[in-house]
């Protein structure tokens, strides 16, 4: 049974960028090349090939793979021939050096996305303006929306309406939102941002990443973030294969995505961990950042979820009772 | 963010019954006892403790665990003290011996559910009448609804309206239905069966079991099937822990379910396989029984999903081109 969605829907595959948070961006060039040709063959519109933050502005940068600090010259070696799938990079507020950003006609990148928390929307929109002026498509990705107060959001909407940004993202950073929450958020964003296109980025803490993405598409969201086999930080993201298989759109083809999964993702999943895992479910239901669960998963007690749940829900150790 | 749902919503945990399809009902008495006390403590209303088919009417019955052919005397030893959680058993058409069914006051069972395909609704309703007359609550579980034609369904609705059955189930046997499909099905069932309560049983082939269950609850479905850690045939079911964690209902408590997962389900999942696995995703999207994928998972080629997909989608080997 295929899903209703606008014919303008586009998939943004984030396997390398968000998946890099799992393996410290330790993807081989061959892996990334195979992913690019697979996504292109599958008809996926965008591939987010990494972060374009500056290593000068980040601690611990040395150990990370090259996809964490995309360099245009390196990128040209990885993708000697551009295909239909456009390339995207994400930047964080305060971690990007404007001097690193070439004009679009000199870069392989098409889309630059700026991620920020609600209090930094103004700074994010300054960066958006810079990238826009250099010719890129732009998005603003407001993280942790489940923790944003109404008046903050309304203020941000005003700033966004005055900006050049092309697409505004609803980001469920903690994987805490239910289908109804997405429906209400999409309706609110549409009402307050009538001239902006919308995107969603979901997390799979409660096995809702795909459902929330589908429902958002049905309510008019155009850019849908996903990653192959769901690879992404902690519980991971909406699986690309599920969108490709189910969106009512004959331009998508599942077979190349299955090929990528078979050749690369199944072996990778044996070494690295992501997906529906109980401690991530717990941080999701509690509407919290998964960092405590990620720390737990690195210990011998990784499956001791009762104790973990008790810790997170004991009033004495919470703020303010 | 908690989900809207009727306050009449009840969870039917199917871990032993549907999970038994994974491990040939090889659950220890201690496992089942721990599950029963956990579900009771969690506030789950029903536990389906197995099938009540007759071993005389089934091939290969000898090798299966006792939960496949529930015997009242045995049940009394397992559950010496009945708690708040009611007990349920499933029967299949043609596999149940009416002589095995004691009157309810002599049995620990409260609910008997009759599963059938659409063409056997009449036979199923005869069994329902029998169980009803012996004092049990009853449900009719119509399987494989995604493959049922409209005129068959309308005819079944007439028979159901004339029957004594308490609850009618929408069963997504192949895990092929999307949230919108569930919404439409629930609305149709409500319209045509105004005096019957409804239930849903979902499968997780496309990571939609929880979302489809939530949405059904929001549209008025009262009985929600689930299993702890999603254990069930092939891709498994809606996870009990996700319903308990998210339904807006203070009578549910997550901690005992987490305890069951930590003590029993995590070790069991290391020996037995269920869940979101690509071949099951493929049979789900193609709206097919998972048996071909289950067979594949028992071979060395278990992860060769491209070849599997090609086989299932090659016109020459399909009926009718």
Please tell me whether residues A181 and A287 are part of one structural domain. Answer: no
Would you call B89 an interface residue with chain A, using a CB distance cutoff of 8 Å? no
Please tell me whether residues B287 and B199 are part of one structural domain. Answer: no
Please tell me whether residues A178 and A312 are part of one structural domain. Answer: no
Summarize pLDDT for B45-90 with one digit per residue, the tens. Answer: 999 999 998 888 877 667 888 999 999 999 999 999 999 999 999 9
Q: Determine whether the interchain pair A266/B181 forms a contact, defined as Cβ–Cβ distance below 8 Å.
A: no
Q: Which residues sit opposite A122 in a β-bridge?
A: none
Quick one: pLDDT at residue A84? 98
- C-alpha distances in Å from residue B85, one per residue of A248, B16, B248: 43, 14, 19
Query: At what angle are helices B29-42 and B15-23 packed, to 10 degrees?
Result: 150
Residues of B in contact with A259 (CB under 8 A): 306
Summarize pLDDT for B180-231 with one digit per residue, the tens. Answer: 999 999 999 999 999 999 999 999 999 999 999 999 999 999 999 999 999 9
Reported as a pLDDT band with limits 50, 70 and 90, residue B20 is very high
Q: DSSP 3-state assignment of B236?
A: coil
Summarize pLDDT for B95-131 with one digit per residue, the tens. Answer: 888 888 899 999 999 999 999 999 999 999 999 999 9
Please tell me whether residues B288 and B224 are part of one structural domain. Answer: no
Measure in Å the smallest separation between the Cα of A225 and chain B Cα atoms.
16
Task: Let me know: does A259 contact A46? Beta carbons within 8 Å.
Answer: no
Please tell me whether residues B208 and B289 are part of one structural domain. Answer: no
- Residue of B278, B283, B284, B301 to mutate, testing the A interface (most A Cβ within 10 Å of its Cβ): B278
Please tell me whether residues B85 and B206 are part of one structural domain. Answer: yes
- C-alpha distances in Å from residue A107, one per residue of A25, A99, B58: 21, 13, 67
CB atoms closer than 10 angstroms to residue B99:
7
Reported as a pLDDT band with limits 50, 70 and 90, residue B321 is very low
Would you call A180 an interface residue with chain B, using a CB distance cutoff of 8 Å? yes
Residues of A in contact with B255 (CB under 8 A): 306, 309-310
**Could you tell me if residue B299 is inside a domain?**
yes
If one counts the domains in chain A, the total is 2
Q: Determine whether the interchain pair B281/A208 forms a contact, defined as Cβ–Cβ distance below 8 Å.
A: no
Whole-number CA gyration radius for chain A = 19
**Could you tell me if residue B1 is inside a domain?**
no
Please tell me whether residues A50 and A82 are part of one structural domain. Answer: yes
Task: List CB contacts of B125: < 8 A, sequence separation 6 or more.
Answer: B114, B140, B159, B160, B163, B165
**Could you tell me if residue A39 is inside a domain?**
yes
Residue of B nearest to A172 (CA): B1
Quick one: pLDDT at residue A95? 86
| Domain CATH for B51 | 3.20.20.70
Among A18-27, A52-61, B1-10, B194-203, the minimum mean pLDDT is found in: B1-10
Would you call B177 an interface residue with chain A, using a CB distance cutoff of 8 Å? yes
Q: Domain residues for B295? A: 278-317
Q: Using CB atoms, pick whichever of B214, B261, B310 lies closest to residue A278.
A: B261
Summarize pLDDT for A91-150 with one digit per residue, the tens. Answer: 999 888 888 889 999 999 999 999 999 999 999 999 999 999 999 999 999 998 888 999
Please tell me whether residues B225 and B293 are part of one structural domain. Answer: no
**Could you tell me if residue B260 is inside a domain?**
yes
DSSP letter for A119, please.
G
**Could you tell me if residue A90 is inside a domain?**
yes
**Could you tell me if residue B211 is inside a domain?**
yes
DSSP letter for A206, please.
T
Task: Let me know: does B306 contact B312? Beta carbons within 8 Å.
Answer: no
Interface confidence (ipTM) of the complex: 0.94
Please tell me whether residues B49 and B186 are part of one structural domain. Answer: yes
Asked if residue A30 has pLDDT above 70, the reply is: yes
Quick one: pLDDT at residue B264? 98
Residue of B nearest to A204 (CA): B207
DSSP letter for B262, please.
I
Measure in Å the smallest separation between the Cα of B321 and chain A Cα atoms.
19
Please tell me whether residues B164 and B295 are part of one structural domain. Answer: no
Asked if residue B21 has pLDDT above 80, the reply is: yes
Mean pLDDT of B297-316: 94
Q: DSSP 3-state assignment of A220?
A: coil
Please tell me whether residues B77 and B125 are part of one structural domain. Answer: yes
Please tell me whether residues A84 and A155 are part of one structural domain. Answer: yes
């Amino acid at each position: 049974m295929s899903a209703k969605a606008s014919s303008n829907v586009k998939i943004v595959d984030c396997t390398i960028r968000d998946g890099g948070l799992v393996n410290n961006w330790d993807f081989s060039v061959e892996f990334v090349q195979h992913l690019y040709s697979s996504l292109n063959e599958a008809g996926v519109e965008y591939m987010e090939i990494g972060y374009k933050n500056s290593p000068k502005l980040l601690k611990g940068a040395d150990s990370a793979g090259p996809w964490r600090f995309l360099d245009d010259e390196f990128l040209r070696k990885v993708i000697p021939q551009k295909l239909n799938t456009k390339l995207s990079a994400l930047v964080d507020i305060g971690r990007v050096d404007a001097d690193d950003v070439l004009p679009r006609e000199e870069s392989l990148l098409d889309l630059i996305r700026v991620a920020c928390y609600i209090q930094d929307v103004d700074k994010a929109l300054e960066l958006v303006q810079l990238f826009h002026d250099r010719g890129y498509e732009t998005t603003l990705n407001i993280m942790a929306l489940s923790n944003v107060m109404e008046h903050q959001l309304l203020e941000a909407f005003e700033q966004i309406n005055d900006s050049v940004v092309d697409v505004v993202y609803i980001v469920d950073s903690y994987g805490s939102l239910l289908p109804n929450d997405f429906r209400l958020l999409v309706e609110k964003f549409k009402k307050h941002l009538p001239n902006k296109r919308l995107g969603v980025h979901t997390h799979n803490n409660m096995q809702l990443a795909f459902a929330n993405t589908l429902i958002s598409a049905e309510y008019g969201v155009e850019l849908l973030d996903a990653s192959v086999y769901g690879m992404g930080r902690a519980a991971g993201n909406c699986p690309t294969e599920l969108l490709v298989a189910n969106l009512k759109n004959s331009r998508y083809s599942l077979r190349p995505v299955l090929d990528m999964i078979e050749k690369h993702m199944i072996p990778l999943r044996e070494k690295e961990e992501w997906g529906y895992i109980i401690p991530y479910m717990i941080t999701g239901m509690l509407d919290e950042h998964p960092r405590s669960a990620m720390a737990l998963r690195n210990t011998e007690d990784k499956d001791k979820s009762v104790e973990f749940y008790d810790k997170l829900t004991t009033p004495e150790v919470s703020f303010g009772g």
